[in-house]
């Protein structure tokens, strides 16, 4: 699993977090997750493809815009 | 067994599953692929909120669905700019932009299901009929209903449903030849 940079916000339910991730297109993807799938500045996601400067990642849940997979710039992936 | 994204892509490459046009990589999840909304909708030719009309449908041997459909609905094309606003409690027929083919020899059936991002808004995409039988060919018809309290704008090309593929235990004795084979919009 990779750690993707994200702004993490507490949800109304204590075990949930809302993550905002910057996509390769410059948009903000919103995804509701278990707290265990996030850190203070990142969300866990699986890398499924790479294309030049971008990485296609799959989040543990569907984003609010309806996609499980989102292209992010590779600089959004935190080093291991 | 449910196919993962890798198996779906292998089955597409070997044409054991056919989806046209080919789904964009972002439309996959680990165990499904999203389909998108076509621009054509079938909407009711009367005000759905008016409950006083008094029509009664009697499903059975004498019921002709296509006559019913043509009498009470009209076909419209929605634009990307305006889309179609589905009011609370409203129900329309829609289709996927993609055409699906599940050849009998592939031993694949599928289920069309809703997406959680839309379900949270109250949007249902089928009315208890999610099965895509082995042998099916055509676009998928969706029965869109807004169960939520807020209107939902539908736009062509939006991810509208997800398709989950399952392997059948054997090969069907005969091809699927139901009335919805190669269904028209």
Give this prediction's pTM: 0.85
Shortest Cα distance from A68 to chain B (angstroms)? Answer: 6
Question: Across B81-150, where does the E strand assignment appear?
Answer: 84-86, 91-101, 108-113, 123-124, 131-132, 137-146
* Share above pLDDT 70 across residues of chain B, in percent, rounded to a whole number: 90
Statement: residue A36 has pLDDT above 80: yes
**pLDDT of the residue at B51:** 62
What pLDDT band is residue B93 in, cutting at 50, 70 and 90?
A: very high
Statement: residue B13 has pLDDT above 90: yes
**pLDDT of the residue at B48:** 65
Q: What does DSSP assign to residue A5?
A: E
Shortest Cα distance from A67 to chain B (angstroms)? Answer: 6
Q: Is B6 on the interface with A (CB under 8 A)?
A: no
State chain A's mean pLDDT as an integer. 94
Least confident of B68-72, B89-93, B156-160: B68-72
Q: Is B114 on the interface with A (CB under 8 A)?
A: no
Residues of B whose CB is below 8 A from A65: 117
Looking at the annotation, which residues of B are catalytic?
143
Give the whole-angstrom CA distance, residue B43 versus residue B90. Answer: 9
Nearest one of A45, A58, A75 to B33, comparing CA atoms: A58
Statement: residue B178 has pLDDT above 90: no
Strand, coil or helix: what is B7?
helix
* Share above pLDDT 90 across residues of chain A, in percent, rounded to a whole number: 91
Average pLDDT over residues B71-97: 94
Mapping DSSP onto H, E and C, the string for A24-49 reads CCCCEEEEEEEHHHECCCEEEEEEEE
Statement: residue B181 has pLDDT above 80: no
Q: What does DSSP assign to residue A79?
A: P
Statement: residue A8 has pLDDT above 60: yes
Residues of B whose CB is below 8 A from A27: none
Least confident of A55-59, B44-48, B59-63, B89-93: B44-48
Statement: residue B55 has pLDDT above 90: no
Statement: residue B137 has pLDDT above 60: yes
Task: Indicate yes or no: CB of B25 within 8 angstroms of CB of A64.
Answer: no
Residues of B whose CB is below 8 A from A69: 25-29
Shortest Cα distance from A41 to chain B (angstroms)? Answer: 23
């Amino acid at each position: 699993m990779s750690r993707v940079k994200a702004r993490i916000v507490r949800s109304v339910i204590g075990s949930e977090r809302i993550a905002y991730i910057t996509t390769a297109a410059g948009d903000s993807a919103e995804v509701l997750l278990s707290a265990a799938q996030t850190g203070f500045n990142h969300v866990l996601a699986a890398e499924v493809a790479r294309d030049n400067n971008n990485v296609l990642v799959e989040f543990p849940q569907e984003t609010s815009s309806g996609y499980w997979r989102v292209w992010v710039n590779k600089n959004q992936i935190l080093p291991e | 067994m449910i196919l993962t994204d890798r198996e779906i892509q292998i089955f597409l490459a070997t044409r054991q599953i056919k989806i046209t046009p080919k789904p964009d990589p972002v439309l996959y999840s680990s165990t499904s692929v999203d389909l998108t909304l076509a621009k054509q909708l079938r909407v009711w030719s009367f005000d759905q909120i008016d409950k006083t009309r008094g029509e009664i449908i009697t499903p059975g041997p004498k019921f002709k669905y296509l006559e019913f459909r043509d009498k009470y609905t009209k076909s419209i094309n929605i634009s990307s700019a305006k889309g179609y606003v589905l009011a609370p409690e409203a129900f329309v027929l829609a289709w996927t932009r993609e055409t699906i083919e599940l050849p009998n020899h592939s031993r694949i059936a599928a289920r069309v299901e809703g997406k959680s991002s839309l379900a949270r808004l109250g949007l249902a995409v089928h009315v208890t009929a999610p099965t895509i039988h082995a042998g099916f060919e055509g676009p998928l018809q969706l029965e869109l209903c807004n169960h939520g309290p807020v209107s939902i704008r539908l736009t062509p090309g939006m991810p509208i449903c997800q398709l989950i593929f399952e392997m059948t235990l054997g090969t069907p004795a005969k091809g699927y030849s139901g009335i919805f084979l190669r269904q028209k919009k």
